[in-house]
Structure 1
Amino acid sequence: MAGYIEDRWLKKKPNRDTGKRERTALWGQGKRYRVKGIPGVRDRSFETSEDAKQWLAKAQTDTTRGEFVDPRDGAIPLAQYIEKHWWPSRSDEPSTAAPMRSKIWNHIIPFLGATALRDIDAAVLRAWKTQLLTRVESSTAQVIWIHLSTILEAAVDDGRLVKNPCKASRTVKAPKPAKRKAKAWTRPTVDAVRAGLHDRYRIAVDLGVGLGLRQGEAFGLGEDDLDFDAGVVHVRRQLRWDSKGRPYFCLPKGGKTREVPLSPNLARRVQDHLHRFPSVACTLPWRNPEPPTTELEARQRKPISVRLVLITSQENRINYSKWNELSWRPALGAAGVVKKVGEEAKTYGGRSRRYELSREDMFHVLRHTYASTQLEAGESIMSVSAWLGHASPQTTLTHYAHFMPGAGKRGLAAMDEWFGQDPQPNVPEKSLGASQAQSTPRSRR
């Protein structure tokens, strides 16, 4: 097996006259024994021959199995590994990269960045998790934990760690958010919030409730996406903004386009809206607003033009952050959904009242309302899952099973009907039961 131990203090061959090995120029300097000659493994020195022998045996075994990891590679601090090796190799789209970077640089690097990769163990994770949960909600902590686990998994693949401590530890687990049922609005609440919006923005509520669109999908919906003759809406893109405030178009969440049925009454509302507020062409980069540096990036990011259904009074695309602050929250306040918590203050060059924050009452609640309406009407989970663009029907069930009260009742009614009838033991002639029934009287005779 490859590999050997070199004594750095003595020459390899003994003196011909004395028969003893003579001292080298390194006598008494540094560690005496060096392990060498293992393919793909850097040399390593030790104070004693016993330590060298043990490490050589382990290195040979691990190398044969393809599991060798040099502890020195794991000495790199976590922050240095992230900044110089892991993050530059990422190719996430801005909509994913910006929030990911924010969480890593705000909640991982400041607290674990100086720790060497090899020193991140259960005790370190336990202390970090406890401190993390004092700063952010458990749902956010779970996402941050996943980011850290992804980083450490990459370190394993890079040969810097033997195993991922986030997965290997049995005493510390990922934070688990409290299970919350998706919230849906009643018809009066939807109507009240809709009435609190500017006339040109009320169609946004209709698109959310009537099609289950996410906010970015509603703001990126084009007039050409509406097929009034076929009665369907093609959800092909969403409008996003990167961390530098630059807008761009990209595919819907998960990269999944879809078709959603368009009801006749909703179609009439959309047509009326377009008659009063004609769509406006908007040209934006695709996938990434960064200037391309290669021909491939130029093709991938080639701008596209879309005649947007929803536009501002200045006939421009909608910035979701401004719209939430200046239009949505005031509408929630006017409808009594949230309370006012402060006086008027300048925001985005205008004046906006301050309202309490309520994540469950943001635009996404309209999507929940769409799902609840469909499921309570008895629509199949498969259809609703496809219309929502979920990865699988299981995702839909996880989020919206509580909107299906009729399913359990129908099954209960069927069983109740079963047991409500008198037993009718009519046994088929050719069945085993029939032969036994015929043989029993003969035996009694």
Structure 2
Amino acid sequence: MRWQVRWDTIGADGKRRQEKRNFEHRGGGRDETDPDVYAEAFAAKTAVELAEDTYISREAGEITLEQFAKQWRRDHVADPASLETIDKHLAHIYDVPRTERTRRAEGTSPIGHRKLRDLAKSPSLMRRWIKSLEAKGLSPGYIHQIGTTLASILNVAVEDGRMLRNPMHAKSVKLPDAPERIIVPWTLQMVTAARDEVDRRHQQPAIVDLGAGAGMRESEVFAFALEDIVFLGADRKILVRRQIKRVKDDQGRYHLVYDLPKGGKEREVPLSDALARRLTEQIKKRKPVEVKLPWQRPGGKMRTYTLLFVGPGGQPWYRQSFQHTWTAARKAAGAPPPPDENGRFHGLRHTFASLEVAAGADILKVAAWLGHTDPGFTLRTYGHFMPDTRDIGRKAVDEFFEPEQSSESASAPDVPSEGES
């Protein structure tokens, strides 16, 4: 005997349609509550889901993770560089299915070919997939990034009515914690050694100066132009208005483009007298060069800026082309090699932030100079460099409890003692 459950749903086109499912067992007993086995249990479960608007049709959940992820990627709006990073994450999510023997030997657990309805009910698949990423030798921080991308994709699947829940949000699914960053600012001797090496190779020492003296990112330094410097007046400053990116066109070929700084916001950084002198020396040493590049994407509107730093042949620097020079500069400075962040160009940015915070600069101002959207992030990252404020705290309490003594000590004249002239 076979039993069939029928129910009505509203399709994506807004039309009513009937769905059905066959079972070998009717059910009815106290222990016969499995909706995947017993018709009555399934009928009761489906009726509740339809009433609570949580029903997911089998057709909606039949799509594989890879198929849905490709749709998500096609509709996702982001800058080309971010999309390139996402594509690298997706490669680990798709992971071409192999034979079970090869998969076991490699310690991999592909999930791209799994149907969404199966993933929704199997947090264990997510745990095995995360474990397989660790077996590949990926760093905890990178695994965390890949997992965050997958969680975002599955969030959209839930919102689209293809999954009832996101298995990445299950309590048993835990992404590895990214290692805590230990910020070690560079010393003046290290900065000097690095700038001397860049000067020896390309006569462009101010590349290092802008990192340590203005907190600029590497890509922002490469796009830094003569028109971005305000040398005179009380409001002497550096304008951080663009960066250089290396992005792919539709045919997969790389192109250099100008784009807004990270976060899509321009910013200003106070120009110190010492940094102004170093920039002036740089301009005298090597004449700035006009460079024309498309804006934001290959084929975009062309823009021209007078760049302070260009590579051999007059072409702008970008991270990959400058890597050899930076490796030599880092070694000369005695900074640690990657993946230690303090050994990357970002280490100069940490140096700028730490010296500003240690000098007592307002954390909100420092966040703005660095281009951080969340001042709390700036505080968490560099707060341990803040000056000791215990004496300030003690004084505030003293003035609260004993305002008279505080005002008397502040206004009392300095009377010489007997015998003093």
Q: Could you say which residue in structure 2 is the equivalent of 1:35?
A: 6
TM superposition shift of 1:267: 1.3
Q: Could you say which residue in structure 2 is the equivalent of 1:186?
A: 187
Report if the CA contact (8 A) 1:207-1:213 is conserved: yes
Of the candidates 90, 95, 103, which is equivalent to residue 109 of structure 1?
A: 95
Report if the CA contact (8 A) 1:241-1:248 is conserved: yes
Of the candidates 362, 380, 387, which is equivalent to residue 398 of structure 1?
A: 380
Larger mean Cα displacement after TM superposition, 307-316 or 56-65: 56-65
Q: Could you say which residue in structure 2 is the equivalent of 1:14?
A: none
- Cα distance in 1, alignment partners of residues 402 and 151 from structure 2: 61
Report if the CA contact (8 A) 2:8-2:19 is conserved: no
CA distance 1:57–1:245, change in 2 (3 Å): same
Report if the CA contact (8 A) 1:249-1:285 is conserved: yes
TM superposition shift of 1:328: 0.8
TM superposition shift of 1:91: 2.3
Of the candidates 333, 352, 356, which is equivalent to residue 370 of structure 1?
A: 352
Report if the CA contact (8 A) 1:375-1:403 is conserved: yes
Pair member with larger Rg: 1
Is the aligned partner of 1:137 residue 2:112? no
Aligned counterparts, 1:21-32, within 5 A? none
Larger mean Cα displacement after TM superposition, 172-181 or 146-155: 172-181
Q: Could you say which residue in structure 2 is the equivalent of 1:124?
A: 125
Task: Output one character per residue of 1:143-177: Cα deviation in whole Å (capped at 9) or x when no partner.
Answer: 0010110111111122110111111x111222211
Which letter maps to 1:415? R
Is the aligned partner of 1:237 residue 2:242? yes
Of the candidates 361, 365, 380, which is equivalent to residue 383 of structure 1?
A: 365
Q: Could you say which residue in structure 2 is the equivalent of 1:253?
A: 262
Task: Output one character per residue of 1:153-210: Cα deviation in whole Å (capped at 9) or x when no partner.
Answer: 111122110111111x111222211212223111111111111113532111110111
CA distance 1:107–1:201, change in 2 (3 Å): farther
Is the aligned partner of 1:410 residue 2:389? yes
Total equivalences in the alignment: 363
- Cα distance in 2, alignment partners of residues 235 and 94 from structure 1: 21
Larger mean Cα displacement after TM superposition, 53-62 or 121-130: 53-62
RMSD between aligned residues: 2.6
Q: Could you say which residue in structure 1 is the equivalent of 2:59?
A: 72
Any gaps of 5 or more consecutive residues in structure 2?
A: 28-37, 97-109, 405-421
TM superposition shift of 1:232: 1.1
CA distance 1:424–1:170, change in 2 (3 Å): closer
- Cα distance in 1, alignment partners of residues 396 and 115 from structure 2: 67
Q: 2:313 aligns to what SS in structure 1? A: coil
TM superposition shift of 1:75: 2.2
TM superposition shift of 1:320: 1.5
Q: Could you say which residue in structure 2 is the equivalent of 1:321?
A: 320
How much identity, in percent, do the aligned residues show? 29
- Cα distance in 2, alignment partners of residues 65 and 281 from structure 1: 63
Q: 2:54 aligns to what SS in structure 1? A: coil
Q: 2:141 aligns to what SS in structure 1? A: helix
* TM superposition score normalised by structure 1: 0.75
- Cα distance in 2, alignment partners of residues 307 and 59 from structure 1: 66
Q: Could you say which residue in structure 2 is the equivalent of 1:209?
A: 212
TM superposition shift of 1:281: 1.6
Q: 1:271 aligns to what SS in structure 2? A: helix
Which letter maps to 1:374? E
- Cα distance in 1, alignment partners of residues 402 and 255 from structure 2: 73
- Cα distance in 1, alignment partners of residues 265 and 338 from structure 2: 34
Report if the CA contact (8 A) 1:145-1:175 is conserved: no
Report if the CA contact (8 A) 1:204-1:310 is conserved: yes
- Cα distance in 2, alignment partners of residues 149 and 36 from structure 1: 31
Q: 2:6 aligns to what SS in structure 1? A: strand
- Cα distance in 2, alignment partners of residues 382 and 335 from structure 1: 31
Q: Could you say which residue in structure 2 is the equivalent of 1:312?
A: 311
TM superposition shift of 1:220: 1.1
Larger mean Cα displacement after TM superposition, 103-112 or 196-205: 103-112
Q: Could you say which residue in structure 1 is the equivalent of 2:164?
A: 162
TM superposition shift of 1:88: 1.2
Q: 1:253 aligns to what SS in structure 2? A: coil
Report if the CA contact (8 A) 1:181-1:402 is conserved: no
- Cα distance in 1, alignment partners of residues 242 and 132 from structure 2: 39
Larger mean Cα displacement after TM superposition, 369-378 or 45-54: 45-54
Of the candidates 242, 255, 262, which is equivalent to residue 271 of structure 2?
A: 262
- Cα distance in 2, alignment partners of residues 331 and 38 from structure 1: 66
CA distance 1:76–1:424, change in 2 (3 Å): closer
- Cα distance in 1, alignment partners of residues 4 and 339 from structure 2: 65
* TM superposition score normalised by structure 2: 0.79
- Cα distance in 1, alignment partners of residues 42 and 339 from structure 2: 58
TM superposition shift of 1:42: 4.6
Which letter maps to 1:233? I
Report if the CA contact (8 A) 2:5-2:43 is conserved: no
Q: 2:357 aligns to what SS in structure 1? A: helix
Larger mean Cα displacement after TM superposition, 139-148 or 85-94: 85-94
- Cα distance in 2, alignment partners of residues 360 and 117 from structure 1: 41
Any gaps of 5 or more consecutive residues in structure 1?
A: 1-27, 292-300, 339-354, 427-445
Q: Could you say which residue in structure 2 is the equivalent of 1:81?
A: 68
Task: Output one character per residue of 1:214-245: Cα deviation in whole Å (capped at 9) or x when no partner.
Answer: 01111111211111123111111111102533
